[in-house]
Structure 1
Amino acid sequence: MSTAPVPHLLDDPHHDGSELYVPPGTPALGDEVPVRVRVPAGGAERAVWLRVVEDGEPRTVPARLDRADAHERWYEATVRVHNPVTGYRLLLDEPGGYRWLNQRGVHARDVTDAHDHRLSVHDAAPAWLHDAVVYQVFPDRFARSAQADVRALPGWATPMGWDDEPVATGDTGRQLAGGDLRGVQDRLDHLQRLGVDTLYLTPVFPGRSNHRYDATTFDHVDPLLGGDDALVALSAAVHARGMRIVGDLTTNHTGAGHDWFRRALADPTSEERSFYYWTAQDPGYVGWLGHRSLPKLDHGAPGLARRLTAGDDSVVARWLRGPVALDGWRIDVANMTGRYGADDRTHEVARTIRATMRAVNPDAVLVSEHFHDAGTDMGAGGWHANMNYSGFSRPVWTWLADPAGRTPTLGLDVPLPRRPGPDVVATMRDFDAAVPWAVTTHQWNLLASHDTPRTRTVVGTRELQEVAAGLLLTYPGTPVVFAGDEGGLTGTTGEHARVPMPWADVDAGGGPRWDAATFATYQRLIALRRSSRALREGGLRWAVVTDDALAFVRETADERVLVLAARAPWPGAELPAWLAPDGAENLYGGAALPRVEGTGPDRGPVLRLPGDGPGVQVWRVR
């Protein structure tokens, strides 16, 4: 391995949607919004132009030099918000040609509009999401209350001991461990000790499976979980602690046992008949991905909107009101909701849900589940944010994947590859650039969920899980922790990863199935995020991208934070000393950021990034 320091990227022109470049808040149609771009002092630009697209037609306006110092120049131009989503990018006129600056970076070639910066008049996610750290609970596997022991199991269920290992394949949905909502309430101290403040529950409606995505009704909570009273009590306990609670709703399909579907089968003249898609092929109706247990909903039916998504009496509204008072919904299979053949009502459904939520609780959040490219769905005024598998989970997994592991790639029948840093960052930038910044800064970033292998299984070691968690808690977006990841739980598939929480080991402060050191790591990183506005709300500038190390800067008007994540030892890097004219304070990882003589031709002072690894280092640079 070469010991020469690697080059940095901080001399690239930069613009993003954070407060240093765009005024905070959601603009209205007709607003004129000043946007700013920073260009390094060594840049050769003769002029900077703003290219904006209005009514589908591009036009350019000059940017004016706003201020300059020895290190950089700042230009400003005005974007008129003429369309609900107004795209723009910057043009740098330079000797020998021009370069474009869009969300993807700087390009010495022509580029498409797909990655332009965007201003949107659609209301952004509620402000509390900036500060939130979300904790995902799969109720059957989190905790059992005393009441759970006296409930009779339904005929579809196979009892599973709390210390049993879940099956990884086959009829996984039948294993019932018996966790319930009173059990979750009994363990809220654990969530607060970790530092999370938002509880996200996978479905609580009755079903014929342990996951309950096959609801038999939306009218009440599964008695196996304690019924409606248990959810009311849990929500009250969560809110009493100053926390929030988000529910999970399936709008793409119901279970075959749902009361709507049973009426539809029994009476072809019923209103419920119009709620579903019907075919001449067996079984006579469309099932989600061919599953006959999950009949697909037809959102072209006016009665379905009234019952499920629109208005005061809808399912969406009912559970946001008291006494439950959920703080938002995560929508299952959001990418397929409203889409079938020639029908494409996804954006309409999303906007309807958001309008209903806004009328009941303007501060509620609406999050979609979308496993691949959600870009075209995220700027339409529907979903506030997406579960960011493509823009965060997958690239981080491929960077940190255990080379000796055989973890499957999510959605593909191939093993998870181990990729170099430049490929990983290129993927993250691609997906970030497909959505407005107001979405990027609220995306639900996650390292694992009930649908994926566990983080520890993917990366293989405690040290690399710390690197993964470091990225989760410092990258733009809302961090989501799957219950048990904070203790190093393992699992090879989504079903196998739904392991019951090992409370005996947790209560003992550690044990064979609970890594207390990993729990302490998550605690420290969550506390770090809470201590820094730049980590919660700041922009993102990539500083170093190498095979084995990634570094980026998060900035607000009052704070600048530098993050370094390394998966292995690497040569280190030299950053310009102007980044920290008054020194640097280590916030995590313990390493100093010394100011030394550089190795470049001018031998001027630089900041030396250490080449240690694996590990995470974070500094507040003054």
Structure 2
Amino acid sequence: MAGHLLDQPHHDGSELYVPQGAPQLGDVVPVRFRVPATGSERALWVRTVRDAEPRMAPARLEHADEHERWYVADLPMHNPVTGYRALLDEPGGYRWLNGTGTHARDVADTHDFRLSAHEPAPGWLDDAVVYQIFPDRFARSSGHTGPPVGELPDWAQPADWADESIAAGPGVATQFYGGDLPGIEQRLDHLQRLGVDTVYLTPIFPARSNHRYDASTFDHVDPLLGGDQALVSLSRALHSRGMRLIGDLTTNHTGAGHEWFARAQADRASEEASFYYWQQQDPGYVAWLGHASLPKLNYNAPALAERLIEGPDSVIGRWLREPVSLDGWRIDVANMTGRYGADDFTHEVARTIRATMRDLNPEAVLAAEHFHDAGLDLRAGGWHTNMNYTAFTRPVWTWLVDPDNQLGFLGLPTSIPRRDGPSVVATMREFDAAVPWSITTHQWNMLGSHDTPRLRTVVKSREMAEVAAGLLFTYPGTPVMFAGDEGGLTGVNGEHARVPMPWPQIDAGGGPGWDAATFDLYRSLIAMRRGSRALREGGLRWALVEPDAVAYLRETADERVLVLASRAPWGGATLPRHLVPAGGDVENLHGGAALRLRADGIELPGDGPGVQVWRLA
């Protein structure tokens, strides 16, 4: 049988180890560390970095029993983001404990634990399950399934609702299905039946594409989606059900057809001309990644911030106010916003947006899109959270991907590699450790989005999709799902993944394009998460990392949940018996398999693929 990791010291930012809530500068924060009774430490010290200089402070033994010792140290909150790690003084040397585990060598500060004085994401995100909708492909209010009816813009190539989405080449951005906001409102029962409570809409402003990331104005909702009143109606319908609505904004660029850009081109002395970067070579202006349809915004212009991000009358502010009352924004290509050459306004932009939102709605969330390492940006006090491709999507894919896949791997010139459990968990731990726990616990974890292949295409089978979904709804962070994943929709890349929802099959309880069993699985996992505070707010203690199986504990002061995920049959393992105290019991939350409690340990089943979740009383 495999060995376990619960004989290692542990610390994370959850309530068992750190007081919850953002500390203030000047506070002294007690931080606790758990060391197994089998440890050989003579003392535990805490190393912190104050004003860029390391300092050591002794920890005191707070509690000990036959299973473990708890140490506590006082950590001065002298800097807005304070990094720290533990040193275990042991015979023959020392070990460091940081966010990636224990190390019998010196390690860089990159993965130290961190406390942040910056205000964390709103508390409702602890409980939220977010549902991403691409409006053109979700639902038509007319119910018509042929080509869209009525007058269409010249760029639109009408498609039947049952047509396959174009994956690449001509038409990929102009294939038009005609989904609209009233259609979404008509289908809110589906969302509530599933168990989601927050809707994130990709852009809804007028544009010359089906994705609408090339807005022609930020002042109105696209009439093709139903116009301003349709957004007001959808927002009110969601709020009346106790649900929330998040918008999507491009602070990095506008469309080439945007009214600001038209004025800028017509009059280079205009205020709007200062909103953009200009150059001698074609097309005469700087465009996002060279796409001429997306001229890049220049935050050297104070008036740009005033119009777009700063204050109640800015674009950010206006849509947070009545009558729409958005509950937050997701910011497209947030990592590039305000960055060009020697210019780097990204953190200033993010903090300005957050200040605008705080003044209008302190409970509004600010989520960034950042496809690679977002650690430095997320520590700066701007974005509340990030779309968590690095610490969740990518490693989960590499563990569960079909080994014969030929799918592109999120911008890399290679197909998705298949990796083992130790590699996957090391990746997750490194990227999680790059940010404070207050951000890790609110990261937008995803199994795919409108910019990626569909999960079902990545993993091929319903069984592997269940393993992935089990991780999504039990791992620290906020689960975010792309509309249709709950029914096993497929797609080989982001454009192809934007498949219309097959409502006739959904209404009929299933069909060749809608897997009712997968829907029931998602519904069950969401309900399980809602019924467990540990799964929503608990810490993360890795218990087992094997090539084909991983297990972790989610723990709060009042609950302990054990999650076991396997991609194939494996050898099984035994965990310490004291995880279930004498007289305690085990409640099976998902998966059906029973834990075997023996006098000398807890035996984990070695079957697979699958996900098992137990509450350990």
Q: Which residue of 1 aligns with 2:274?
A: 274
Provide the residue aligned with 2:250 in structure 1.
250
Answer yes or no: is 1:112 the counterpart of 2:108: yes
| Letter aligned with residue 153 of structure 2 | P
Match of 1:80 among 68, 76, 80: 76
1:593 maps to 2:598: no
Aligned mates of 2:30, 2:217 — CA distance in 1: 50
Q: Residues 298-377 of structure 1 correspond to what in structure 2 (within 5 A)?
A: 298-377=298-377
2:157 paired residue number:
158
AA of the residue aligned to 1:555: E
1:610 maps onto 2:600 in alignment: no
TM-score, L = length of structure 1: 0.98
Q: How does 1:64-463 map to 2 (within 5 A)?
A: 64-146=60-142, 150-171=149-170, 172-463=172-463
1:403 Cα deviation from its structure 2 partner? 1.1
Pairing 1:27–2:10 present: no
Q: CA deviation at 1:290?
A: 0.4
Q: CA shift at 1:150, angstroms? A: 4.8
What is the SS of the residue equivalent to 2:412?
coil
Amino acid at match of 1:155: D
Structure 1 counterpart of 2:574: 574
**2:502 corresponds to:** 502
Which secondary structure does the structure 2 equivalent of 1:173 belong to?
Answer: coil
Does the 8 Å CA contact 1:206/1:223 hold for their aligned counterparts?
Answer: yes
Tell me: CA distance 1:546–1:280, structure 2 relative to 1, closer, same or farther (3 Å): same
Q: Does 1:38 align with 2:34?
A: yes
* CA–CA separation in structure 2 for the residues paired with 1:38 and 1:437: 17
Secondary structure of 1:403's counterpart equals coil
Q: In the alignment, is the contact (CA less than 8 A) between 1:235 and 1:326 conserved in 2?
A: yes
Q: Which runs of 5+ in 2 are unaligned?
A: none
* Cα-to-partner distance string for 1:151-202 (whole Å, 9 max, x where unaligned): 4110001011100001111130000000000000000000000000000000
Specify the SS of the correspondent of 1:414: strand
- The total of aligned residue pairs comes to 611
Matched, 1:11 2:13: no
Task: Please name the residue that 1:602 is paired with.
Answer: none
CA contact (8 A) 1:216 1:259 kept: yes
1:228 maps to amino acid: D
Amino acid at match of 1:519: F
Does the CA contact (< 8 Å) of 1:166 and 1:495 recur in 2?
yes
Amino acid at match of 1:537: E
SS in structure 1 of the partner of residue 473 of structure 2:
helix
Shift of 1:404: 2.1
> Which of residues 46, 49, 53 is equivalent to 1:57?
53
TM-superposed deviation, 1:147 = 8.8
SS in 1 for 2:442: coil
- For the residues of structure 2 that align with 1:559 and 1:456, how far apart are their CA atoms? 33
Deviation of 1:476 after TM superposition, in Å, equals 0.2
The aligned amino acid for 2:57 is V
Cα distance in structure 1, aligned partners of 2:45 and 2:573: 33
Letter in 2 for 1:591: A
> In the aligned structure 2, how far is the partner of 1:165 from the partner of 1:146?
20
The Cα of 1:583 is off from its aligned counterpart by: 2.8
- Tell me, what secondary structure is at the counterpart of 1:284? coil
Structure 2 CA distance for aligned equivalents of residues 612 and 527 of structure 1: 24
User: How far is the alpha carbon of 1:548 from its aligned partner?
Assistant: 0.4
CA contact (8 A) 1:276 1:285 kept: yes
Distance 1:577 1:204 in 2: 54
- Alpha-carbon distance in structure 2 between the residues aligned to 1:404 and 1:279: 45
Show the 5 A alignment for 1:460-479.
460-479=460-479
Matching residue of 1:601: none
User: Is the Cα–Cα contact under 8 Å of residues 369 and 386 in structure 1 kept in the other structure?
Assistant: yes
1:474 aligns to what SS in structure 2?
Answer: coil
After superposition, give the CA deviation of every residue in 1:393-441 in whole Å (9 maximum; x if it has no partner). Answer: 0000000001122121111121111100000001000100101100000
- The aligned residue for residue 583 of structure 1 is 585
What secondary structure is seen at the aligned counterpart in 1 of 2:413?
Answer: coil
Letter in 1 for 2:262: R
Partner AA of 1:523 in structure 2: R
Q: Which runs of 5+ in 1 are unaligned?
A: 598-604
Identity score, percent: 72
The structural deviation recorded for 1:315 is 0.2
> Conserved in 2, the CA contact under 8 Å of 1:405 and 1:460?
no
Q: Are the counterparts in 2 of residues 151 and 224 from structure 1 also a CA contact under 8 Å?
A: no
Normalising by structure 2, we get a TM-score of 0.98
Q: Distance in 2 between matches of 1:239 and 1:315?
A: 21
CA distance in 2, matches of 1:225, 1:593: 51
Corresponding residue number in structure 2 for 1:559: 559
